[in-house]
Amino acid sequence: MGNPEIIAAIATPPGQGGIGVIRISGNNLQRLAEAILGKLPKPRNASLNNFLDTNGHVIDQGIALYFPAPNSYTGEDVLELQGHGGPAIMNLLLNQCLAAGARLAQPGEFTLRAYLNNKMDLVQAESVADIIEASTAQGARCAIHSLQGHFSTRIEELVGALTTLRMLIEAIIDFPEEEIDNLQALQIKDRLNSIHKQLAQVLASAQQGKLLQEGIKVVLIGQPNVGKSSLLNQLAEDDIAIVTEIPGTTRDTIQQTIKIEGIPIHVIDTAGLRETEDIVEQKGIERTHAAIKNADMIIRLIDCQQPTKHTKKDESWSYPPTDKPTITVYNKIDLCAETKTPKIEEKENSISIYVSAKTGAGITLLRKKLLECIGWQYNTAGEGLFTARQRHLEALTKAQLHLENAQEYTKNEYQLELLAEELKLSQNALSSITGQLTADDLLGEIFSHFCIGK
């Protein structure tokens, strides 16, 4: 990359700890190392050093590690100072690094430099943040798979296959007078179908990986006192929400992340939906509607003792929008004379589950059905998956669309130019995932979400 600037940052979390780390990266760290350590440490050897201020006074004592370019995380010279993890000590040491010629690193700048210096591709760079942010063990393993290049390898295989196919078609277009085999003889259709099948498999794996990494938002809605807070407590296996017999107890949204089969489910308990003159409760209901708007899925609770209580007058308050996947939960079966046993009823466009949020009956059925509705495949169990982000899914979907267009153009040899163009567009979409074709503004957006020091 050839960036002359030296950057430095605290690479450990804020607060007190046994060890704190200052990371420094740039070209030629000789002068900076001498100012702080009195010398440039021997490469790749941990050595005990005094960390000095401008006047030669000892700030702290700790371990120094030096990684000369290009064999370092960023591809530049990297120096790490491992001292005691108190905030005051870390800030003193960081300020000394800045006084010695470094500047404070921007969020994600160390990993950005690693990407720009070809130490990793864009997918691997994003996986660094995914590892740090992983909320489940399965999600962390998937992020490690991406960092190791599993996702990138699948994309590179698809790009390679498309490149070969484009070469064959371009040859037919550019040299029509030559004796070049036609589409059928070159098995263009079969090759294209094979690529399409591989892409579909990668997209399916990416969708599973995104679920493991990000999970989904599930909103609990219903009229007051139907048991939303009790259901949240059952799903979370903890007393998160206050439960009383008084309708309208929940005045604001309460969010709790639970884990089902390693999938983070962000469950949001909401204020009961009803007509009310209470200003505070009205504000809570407004937030309920906002939560519904941003939800990925809705669980609508009904008291099974009064299943017909929802009149036309209440319908606009009680029924979720039709564009959200919805599970209707009939609660309080322990008090219902007709339905005492948990069960699932599925019709063409509806799913109903009978549970007791008080006793826990039927909660296991609800957990399993939640995973089925979001598309989680039980047999994967996180093995062989990799993390994926929304931009990856959008690029894969775009590539798939162009491949499907290309398949239509194989039906007529007079449409070879259109076929070649669709293959090119599909290849470009895939290349944007690993960063081979990526705009600078996208890089800024991606790395701005990293923590400082990574």
Span 255-307, pLDDT tens digits: 788 888 778 888 888 766 555 555 655 666 667 677 777 778 888 888 888 76
Q: Nearest-CA neighbor of 405 among 428, 424, 381, 422?
A: 422
Burial of 319 (0-12, 13-18, 19+ CB in 10 A): middle
Residue 440 has pLDDT above 70, yes or no: no
Question: Would the CA dihedral through 316, 322, 327, 333 be positive or negative?
Answer: positive
Q: Residue for token digits 């390679």?
A: 160
Query: DSSP states of 169-211 as a string?
Result: HHHHHH-TTS----TTTTTHHHHHHHHHHHHHHHHHHHHHHHH
H/E element, 300: strand 297-303
Q: Are strands 7-10 and 103-104 parallel, antiparallel or unpaired?
A: parallel
Task: Choose the weakest-confidence range: 68-72, 98-102, 250-254.
Answer: 250-254
Cα–Cα–Cα angle for 301, 306, 311, rounded to 5 degrees: 85
Confidence band of 109 (pLDDT split at 50, 70, 90): very high
Residues in CB range of 46: below 8 A, 6 or more apart = 63, 64, 65
Residue 419 C-beta-side C-alpha neighbours within 13 Å: 24
CA distance 99 to 418: 59
Q: pLDDT value at position 256?
A: 83
CA distance 244 to 344: 27
CA distance 3 to 364: 56
What is this structure's pTM?
Answer: 0.73
Q: pLDDT value at position 311?
A: 45
Greater model confidence, 392 or 450: 392
Residue 239 has pLDDT above 80, yes or no: no
Q: pLDDT value at position 183?
A: 56
H/E element, 85: strand 77-85
Residue 358 has pLDDT above 80, yes or no: yes
CA distance 321 to 326: 9
Mean pLDDT of the chain: 83
CA distances (Å), 401 to each of 23, 183, 246, 395, in order?
A: 44, 21, 53, 10
CA distance 401 to 390: 16
- Specify which residues 65 forms β-bridges with: 80
Task: Choose the weakest-confidence range: 39-53, 82-96, 354-368, 426-440.
Answer: 426-440
Interval 118-139 mean pLDDT: 87
Residue 21 C-beta-side C-alpha neighbours within 13 Å: 12
Q: pLDDT value at position 182?
A: 57
Straight-line distance from the first to the last Cα atom of the chain, in angstroms, rounded to the nearest whole number? 18
Report yes or no: 17 and 85 within 8 Å, Cβ to Cβ: yes
Greater model confidence, 398 or 214: 398
Confidence band of 31 (pLDDT split at 50, 70, 90): very high
Pair of tokens at residue 80: 């790490």
Domains of the chain: 7-118 (3.30.1360.120), 129-211+385-435 (1.20.120.430), 219-373 (3.40.50.300)
Residue 130 has pLDDT above 90, yes or no: no
Q: pLDDT value at position 244?
A: 45
- Specify which residues 300 forms β-bridges with: 221, 328
Q: Are strands 216-221 and 263-269 parallel, antiparallel or unpaired?
A: parallel
Q: Which amino acid is at 100?
A: A
Percentage with pLDDT > 90 across the chain: 38
